[in-house]
Amino acid sequence: MCGILAYSGKKSIKKILLSGLEKLSYRGYDSAGIGVLTQEKTIKIYKYAGHVQNLTKNLEKITIESPVGIGHTRWATHGEANDINAHPHLSHSGHLAIAHNGIVENYNTLKKKLISKGYTFQSNTDTEVLINLIDYIQNYQQCALKEALRFALKHVVGAYALVLLDKNNPHQLIATKKGSPLVIGIQGKEYFIASDVTPIIAHTNEVIFLKDDEIAYINHGKLQITNAKAVEKTPFIEKLDIHLEAIDKGHFPHFMLKEIFEQPQSLQNCILGRLNMLQKKLTLGGIQDHLPSLKEANRIIIIACGTSYYAGLVGAYFLEDICRIPVVVEYASEFRYRNPIIKSNDVILAISQSGETADTLAAIQLAKKHHAIILGICNVVGSSLARTTHAGIFTHAGPEIGVASTKAFTAQLMSLAMLALKLAHEKKTIAENVFQHYLLELYKIPTKIDLLLQNISPAIQLLAQKFKNSRHFIYLGRGYHFPIAMEGALKLKEIAYIHAEGYPAAEMKHGPIALIDQDMPVVCIATKDHCYDKIVANIEEIKARKGQIIAIVTEKDTHITSLTKDIISVPDTPAALMPMITIVPLQLLAYYTAIARNCNVDQPRNLAKSVTVE
């Protein structure tokens, strides 16, 4: 989604904005621009469709000296991705400029009113409406820009994060947010305002996460924050614990590959301080106080989107199996609009890597109205989800930059497995020896993935070459591997642009089998568990119809090896934990297929890292 970066300070504004926008580009975008002040006391906007490199190239020979500046990477919502619709946008008068994330839902009504007052518009964006509304109110009320902004936002329906530039106040930046994140980095008298910390951490680790409706006002190196009622607040400065290397590709060609290979470490970090093998204990500090409510829960409702939703499905199987609590898993986007039944002893579990997904946040708000207890599983400390839930588990996977989620997914699976085990142990629905066995198996997972990663890449690269021109893929799995089939298919769609569907293997007979012929690759996740014989039967059915079987099997499997040559073996582990392992070859298959098809792996077309609008 769109990214914002604004700077106030003495360093080279051009360098800071351009390098920062590069850092934000992982979020997904289709145009980029900056707005600065000139010596002649006007606002100058430079903005172009395409990559940040395009903007950088166009600015190569231009000298910019401005005490403040705003930058933006745009992911098109209103109006196509072209130079005119790119941000920042100037007001009709040319006095103000804005960089804006989010959507002004009532922009059409506001636009009509502004047109009736003589305003004209260059772009198709809701953002240009917003800056002209602020401009209009400031002129009409003859008030300070801060006040005009506050008044204007009372007329706005939607979510936003924005930063304003004012030609009459060349040392000033004004920023605010509602439902879309904004963070301020502080380095002495220098300030960085951004939609996430990635362009900030190269400069400082001291940050303030702005809250909804707060207005940040920076002028001549001083920061003031006021709340919705215009009352000044003492800012809460946090120290970030993120290192620069975490957002660097290192020796890997892509963030996605780096993140796949980081999984042994990210899973280790996820269990660190929670799984104590010496004391044979599992502690989940974040939810400790809510364990009594969880034990008494009538039902657990998991809400999430995309990959996080698939993690939720895996988690639901394990939670139901060992805790004997009914669990339902819902797409947050459906849940929020369908008047769901939420009872007082239901527990909501929201899962999100970014913690900023608009649908998931809206579903949480809905559940809050029903007074449900809301827990979260989230990767980003300080995110909106982390702040809005009652308690939760941080996955500690580290920053995930590749648009296709990989290490965050396995950390979500690990967090859900720990939650299920902790709850089952508390409820005594699991025998002590079984619990202890699981703890040991959890502990071994990072090492098993490490060994797997050392060996499988060559075989998967060959598979990618063999199937790179296939137009469709089917992924099949049963039980814990049904969600993994869907996640594997999603990865291939996202980055290799090949149509792929994941199904529960037994459903094949109810329709998809009609698609099987010699041109159809079918990825079967067929590790040794209680459904093994069933999925072997499915593989036979595919073979009988000449489908191209790619099988993920448990090491030393001899039976499936006789049915297909395209085999990837993975280390054995209990069925409930196996998804953390079987997803790894599927992530690599998507990655190497995308590479073989010359696709942009880290920034796939049309996708955004966190979907902060509906």
What gap in Å lies between CA 11 and CA 457, rounded to an integer?
A: 44
CB-nearer residue toward ligand M6R: 198 or 352: 352
Binding to ligand M6R by residue 494, rule CB under 6 A? yes
Contact 242, 250 (CB under 8 A): no
CB-nearer residue toward ligand M6R: 214 or 494: 494
Closest contact distance (angstroms) between CB of 401 and ligand M6R is: 12
Alpha carbon 590 to chain centroid, angstroms: 18
Binding to ligand M6R by residue 587, rule CB under 6 A? no
Stretch that binds ligand M6R, among 48-56, 263-271, 347-355, 554-562 (CB under 6 A): 347-355
Binding to ligand M6R by residue 306, rule CB under 6 A? yes
Q: Which of 445, 439, 446 is nearest to 276 (CA)?
A: 439
CB-nearer residue toward ligand M6R: 332 or 560: 332
Closest contact distance (angstroms) between CB of 497 and ligand M6R is: 14
Q: Which of 316, 270, 321 is nearest to 427 (CA)?
A: 321
Contact 522, 516 (CB under 8 A): yes
- Is residue 460 classed as helix, strand or coil in its secondary structure? helix
Closest contact distance (angstroms) between CB of 491 and ligand M6R is: 7
Closest contact distance (angstroms) between CB of 260 and ligand M6R is: 12
What gap in Å lies between CA 482 and CA 213, rounded to an integer?
A: 42
Binding to ligand M6R by residue 610, rule CB under 6 A? yes
Binding to ligand M6R by residue 132, rule CB under 6 A? no
How far lies 383's CA from each of 104, 310, 312, 408, in Å? 22, 21, 19, 15
What gap in Å lies between CA 198 and CA 437, rounded to an integer?
A: 40
Q: Which of 580, 584, 582, 575 is nearest to 317 (CA)?
A: 575
Q: Of residues 31, 125, 405, 603, which one binds ligand M6R by CB under 6 A?
A: 405
Dihedral of CA atoms 250, 251, 253, 257 in degrees, nearest 10, equals -80
Q: Which of 302, 356, 311 is nearest to 334 (CA)?
A: 302
Stretch that binds ligand M6R, among 72-80, 299-307, 417-425, 533-541 (CB under 6 A): 299-307
Closest contact distance (angstroms) between CB of 356 and ligand M6R is: 7
Q: Of residues 195, 357, 548, 564, which one binds ligand M6R by CB under 6 A?
A: 357
**CB-CB neighbours of 474 under 10 Å:** 25
Binding to ligand M6R by residue 484, rule CB under 6 A? no
Q: Catalytic residue numbers?
A: 2, 609
Closest contact distance (angstroms) between CB of 313 and ligand M6R is: 13
CB-nearer residue toward ligand M6R: 362 or 460: 362
Stretch that binds ligand M6R, among 80-88, 305-313, 415-423, 460-468 (CB under 6 A): 305-313
Q: How far is it between the farthest Cα atoms of the chain? A: 81
CB-nearer residue toward ligand M6R: 127 or 353: 353
With CB atoms as reference, the residue minimizing the distance to ligand M6R is 306
Task: Give the helix ranges, DSSP H, for 272-406.
Answer: 291-296, 306-323, 332-335, 358-369, 384-388
CB-nearer residue toward ligand M6R: 77 or 93: 77
CB-nearer residue toward ligand M6R: 361 or 516: 361
Q: What angle do CA 446, 448, 452 make, to 5 degrees?
A: 115
What gap in Å lies between CA 447 and CA 450, rounded to an integer?
A: 5
Which residues neighbour 465 within 8 Å (Cβ) at sequence distance 6 or greater?
596
DSSP 173: E
Among all chains, which residue has been given the structure tokens 């060994």? 451
Q: Of residues 123, 353, 554, 593, which one binds ligand M6R by CB under 6 A?
A: 353
Contact 269, 397 (CB under 8 A): yes
Binding to ligand M6R by residue 548, rule CB under 6 A? no
Binding mask 202-231 toward ligand M6R (x if CB under 6 A, else -) reads ------------------------------
Binding to ligand M6R by residue 366, rule CB under 6 A? no
Closest contact distance (angstroms) between CB of 403 and ligand M6R is: 5
Give the residues across from 175 on adjacent strands. Answer: 163, 216
Binding to ligand M6R by residue 580, rule CB under 6 A? no
Binding to ligand M6R by residue 352, rule CB under 6 A? yes
Binding to ligand M6R by residue 354, rule CB under 6 A? yes
What gap in Å lies between CA 614 and CA 611, rounded to an integer?
A: 7
Q: Of residues 307, 389, 527, 564, which one binds ligand M6R by CB under 6 A?
A: 307
CB-nearer residue toward ligand M6R: 217 or 473: 473
What gap in Å lies between CA 211 and CA 209, rounded to an integer?
A: 6
Binding to ligand M6R by residue 611, rule CB under 6 A? yes
Closest contact distance (angstroms) between CB of 307 and ligand M6R is: 3
Q: Of residues 164, 201, 301, 403, which one binds ligand M6R by CB under 6 A?
A: 403
Contact 590, 260 (CB under 8 A): no
Question: Which uninterrupted H or E stretch holds 570?
Answer: strand 566-570
User: Which positions touch ligand M6R (CB under 6 A)?
Assistant: 305-308, 352-354, 357, 360, 403-405, 494, 607, 610-611
